[in-house]
Chains A and B, each alone.
Chain A
């Protein structure tokens, strides 16, 4: 019987061997720059990639996901060249652990109150107390930076206790917007960077009502294409890229360039 089991494993080993051979070879000769990026940055980064690729011979491919799981992947040794995190906190952790270089930049986003096209838009945060807002969507209030900022803005407007029972927490800021877009919620506290191509209307919450929502982009220390990675990150603080960021509701805070 043992020989039977032994034999039935032979093909497994053969396949496992075949599978193992290919990826390493593929990667060594792979010229593509791999950028792990938060899903919320997909729109703006796709636009910047087009601009970047017209100026250099480098080619970029994105791995979009949630900042938390992208952080875990890098921590466990996934080979990436650049990490664009929706939360500065994850970036700081990885930098502290030695996975990210100092080369990079910090951006900040703006919080908006988004309302569907058929809803009267608001002009202050206080107006969210109006009874027509039966459900107000926002991102995770502990994990998502925009969720935290939303709570702070409600707090500094002194309406948190009134509004709290009507808050609907989504896992992330994009899902919060989708809740309101689909009519599941009557308004959403979401990111300016996401609302650009939506049908609704939005009110940009004054920046002094909450702590800055910081996003960070940095070169990975394990990058096999460090030079191209630095070129890409440097490109992000050029006037052309900065204006694309600004058109998408993101603003440059600081840039630590390699040059």
Chain B
């Protein structure tokens, strides 16, 4: 039970960092700007939310497989390695981060950002000292939700990382194995653990979604 748990934590931390960078970056970019094809980009980012894991897994298998771009251009052989699990978790977790933080950033009053600019703040300074602090509720909710989704990723991981004990067997896969082999005690323990983690994270996210907003919030009512 501990090896899969540790691997799950490793995969979740790596995936969450990627999600924050890529999902957060895309959210910052698309919250204020209307680049050509924005609707298309946003729809593509959200797609893993509605596609069955088998479809996401199949796409990733093609992308990461021997004839795929990752293998032929970058010469990275990622199938059946833990980074493949990280990529699967990142792809399925990303929409939650993007959705929550994009909405939060878009709801920050642009006047406040403009004020900071007139006072000489750089674009990065505005983002870091004005926009993100005001949007933090949504951003944190996005991080927690996507990290929890990454932790629970199963279907796509099974396809690209396999189910190899000690190497790519994350907690959800270990649960699947325990259920398949009728190891009820182990399955129950891990199921309780996953449920507790999911419950606590959703409970915690509530604090950011509802409840009193801080005084200095610049969000338009």
Contacts and interface: CB of A to CB of B under 8 A. Distances in A.
Interface of A: 1, 3-5, 7-9, 11-12, 15-16, 19-20, 22-24, 26-27, 34, 36, 39, 42-43, 61-65, 69, 72-73, 76-80, 174, 197
Given A4-B127, A77-B67, A19 B86 contact: yes
Contact of A64 (B86, B159, B163): B163
Contacts of B66: 76-77
Nearest to A1: B123
A72 B58 contact: yes
Contact of A73 (B25, B61, B78): B61
Closest 7 pairs (CB-CB, A-B): A77-B66, A76-B65, A23-B81, A19-B83, A8-B25, A12-B21, A78-B79
Interface string B62-87: 10111110010010111111110010
Contacts of B159: 69, 72-73
Which of A19, A64, A78, A79 gathers most chain B CB within 10 Å?
A78
B113 interface: no
B181 A43 contact: yes
B77 A11 contact: no
Contacts, number: 107
B167 interface: yes
Given A4-B124, A73-B159, 13 more contacts: A8-B28, A19-B83, A23-B77, A23-B81, A24-B76, A42-B181, A63-B163, A63-B164, A76-B66, A76-B68, A76-B79, A77-B66, A77-B77
Interface in B121-143: 123-124, 127
Contacts of B17: 11, 15
B215 interface: no
A64 B181 CA distance: 11
Contacts of A62: 164-165
B61 A79 contact: no
Contacts of A64: 163, 177, 180
Which of B25, B29, B162, B167 gathers most chain A CB within 10 Å?
B162
B83 A20 contact: yes
Nearest to B74: A20
Contact of B22 (A3, A4, A12, A77): A12
A6 B159 CA distance: 32
Contact of A26 (B18, B21, B22, B81): B81
A3 B64 CA distance: 29
A43 B71 CA distance: 34
Nearest to B87: A19
B126 to A, nearest CB: 9
B18 to A, nearest CB: 6
A1 B162 CA distance: 40
10 contacts: A4-B124, A5-B29, A8-B21, A8-B28, A12-B21, A23-B81, A24-B77, A72-B58, A73-B61, A80-B80
A96 B159 CA distance: 22
Nearest to B124: A4
Contact of A36 (B18, B24, B162): B162
A181 to B, nearest CB: 9
Contacts of B180: 39, 42, 64, 174
Given A42-B180, A64-B180, A79-B77, A9 B167 contact: no
B27 to A, nearest CB: 10
Contacts of B65: 76-78
A21 B182 CA distance: 37
Contacts of B124: 4, 7
Contacts of B58: 72
Nearest to B81: A23
A72 B80 CA distance: 13
Contacts of A36: 162
B125 to A, nearest CB: 10
Contacts of B103: none
B21 A9 contact: yes
A9 B80 CA distance: 26
B14 interface: yes
B166 interface: yes
Nearest to B76: A20
A23 B67 CA distance: 19
A202 to B, nearest CB: 16
Contacts of A174: 180
Contacts of A20: 74, 76, 78, 83
